[in-house]
């Protein structure tokens, strides 16, 4: 009996080590950029966090699945919930969009007026705890923050037209940018996009040179880069991606139910030829999207990822590597651990509220501000 108990204990320990990747060594992020880039050289001079080892929460932080699961369920640990001012704007199609502005708690070390514009992830808003934690941290370091609330994502704001947010549409983010520039004409802008929001800000910045000129920099976190290439990868079971997509689809359907009277009333279903039964029977975002439009038409239109992100396969990050290594003023940061928007750090079981991601984003932003001041006064 004692031998069996000892054997069982050994097996449990072995499985824990393998499943939690406790045998893996923490590493500094891998950096990809064009050889000889003066921009990257100057940024890294002031951004030590990108050269130091990222140490995840000891017991479970090296598991990309647990990083992602805990982020999805909790967002952040003991997250603050800052109070902002909500702005309401009417879009050309009469849709009511909102964004929230959070004023800084102190002056930035540069003495500049700085505003970070955030585009959150899928179906998220300024009320998501991971957004709140980053907003609060940025406020403490002298940044004003404006956060886009994706159409339909706020439980307290009802849709007034039969449409929600879409993965590739930049209209709402563009409108927020223009409004922030009117409200704070002397403020310098920085863009941060999380997950799907990363796709939106990079698309917005790439749509015209005028859009680029409005910002000091754009920072995309856990972006998928290529939706068309991403779809078949998300539909397989490798790294449990199919299960994640199922959960994401279920969340989308919950939002559809919440706004049922606007999105799925009889008039709308008849006008757009929608089949409510097929919509609610969808088990993937692809199936859900196909009920609303042609899949191909729907999708055609500094970077940070984790190698163990279950939603962004390495094949998609390769696209970003190629771009960063062949273009000036681009930097791709790839961490060994972190999952999808997790990046919890420190502690044996309970991590710190402020994550490695929060710290790295602000340190990078500070470096960009410092660099542009150096160029301005040179």
First and final C-alpha spacing in the chain: 77
Choosing from 100, 289, 308, 309, which is the catalytic residue? 309
Please tell me the predicted confidence (pLDDT) of residue 284: 67
pTM strictly above 0.75: yes
Give the length of the chain: 378
**CB within 8 Å of 32: residues ≥ 6 apart:** 320, 321, 324, 325, 331, 332, 334
Please tell me the predicted confidence (pLDDT) of residue 289: 67
Catalytic annotation present for 258: no
Choosing from 37, 65, 340, 367, which is the catalytic residue? 340
**CA–CA gap between residue 245 and residue 250 (Å, rounded):** 9
Structure token pair of residue 8:
């069982």
Higher per-residue confidence, 373 vs 96: 96
Please tell me the predicted confidence (pLDDT) of residue 362: 97
Residue 297's pLDDT band (cuts 50, 70, 90): very low
Catalytic annotation present for 309: yes
Instruction: With a cut of 50, say whether residue 212 has pLDDT above it.
Output: yes
Instruction: With a cut of 60, say whether residue 86 has pLDDT above it.
Output: yes
Higher per-residue confidence, 203 vs 249: 203
The distance of Cα 252 from the centroid of its chain, to the nearest Å, equals: 17
H or E segment and range at residue 295 = helix 295-300
**CA–CA gap between residue 156 and residue 209 (Å, rounded):** 36
Render pLDDT for 51-80 as a digit per residue (tens, 0 to 9). 999 999 999 999 999 999 899 888 999 999
Instruction: With a cut of 60, say whether residue 223 has pLDDT above it.
Output: yes
In 3D space, the residue among 96, 85, 98, 94 whose CA is nearest the CA of residue 176 turns out to be: 98
Catalytic annotation present for 195: yes
Residue 376's pLDDT band (cuts 50, 70, 90): low
**Residue 306 near residue 337 (C-beta atoms within 8 A):** yes
Annotate 53-76 with b (16+ C-beta within 10 A) or e (fewer): ebebbbbbbbbbbbbbbbbbeebb
DSSP state of 345: B
Choosing from 63, 125, 195, 360, which is the catalytic residue? 195
Three-state SS at 344: coil
Render pLDDT for 258-288 as a digit per residue (tens, 0 to 9). 888 888 888 878 887 888 888 888 776 666 6
């Amino acid at each position: 009996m004692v031998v069996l108990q000892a054997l069982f204990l050994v097996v449990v320990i072995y499985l824990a080590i393998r499943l939690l990747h406790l045998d893996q060594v923490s590493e500094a992020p891998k950096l990809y950029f064009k050889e000889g880039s003066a921009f990257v050289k100057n940024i890294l001079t002031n951004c030590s966090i990108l050269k130091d080892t990222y140490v995840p929460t000891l017991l479970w932080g090296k598991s990309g699945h647990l990083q992602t699961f805990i982020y999805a369920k909790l967002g952040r640990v003991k997250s603050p919930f800052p109070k902002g001012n909500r702005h309401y704007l009417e879009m050309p199609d009469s849709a009511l969009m909102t964004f929230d502005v959070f004023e800084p708690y102190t002056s930035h070390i540069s003495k500049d007026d700085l505003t970070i514009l955030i585009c959150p992830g899928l179906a998220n808003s300024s009320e998501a705890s991971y957004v709140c934690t980053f907003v609060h941290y940025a406020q403490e370091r002298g940044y004003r923050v404006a956060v886009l609330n994706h159409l339909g994502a706020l439980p307290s704001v009802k849709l007034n037209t039969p449409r929600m947010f879409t993965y590739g549409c930049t209209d709402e983010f563009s409108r927020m940018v223009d409004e922030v520039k009117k409200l704070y004409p002397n403020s310098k802008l920085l863009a941060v996009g999380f997950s799907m929001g990363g796709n939106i800000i990079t698309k917005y910045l790439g749509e015209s040179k005028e859009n680029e000129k409005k910002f000091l920099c754009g920072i995309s976190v856990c972006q998928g880069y290529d939706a068309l290439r991403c779809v078949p990868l998300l539909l397989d079971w490798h790294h449990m991606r199919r299960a994640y997509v199922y959960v994401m689809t279920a969340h989308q359907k919950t939002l559809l139910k919440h706004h049922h009277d606007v999105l799925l009333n009889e008039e709308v279903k008849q006008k757009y030829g929608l089949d409510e039964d097929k919509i609610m029977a969808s088990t993937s975002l692809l199936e859900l999207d196909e009920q609303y439009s042609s899949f191909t038409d729907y999708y055609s239109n500094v970077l940070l990822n984790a190698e163990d992100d279950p939603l962004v396969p390495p094949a998609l990050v390769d696209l970003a590597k190629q771009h960063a290594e062949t273009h000036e003023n681009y930097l791709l940061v790839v961490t060994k651990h972190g999952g999808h928007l997790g990046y919890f750090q420190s502690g044996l079981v309970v991590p710190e509220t402020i994550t490695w991601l929060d710290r790295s984003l602000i340190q990078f932003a500070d470096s960009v501000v410092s660099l542009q001041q150096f160029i301005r006064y040179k």
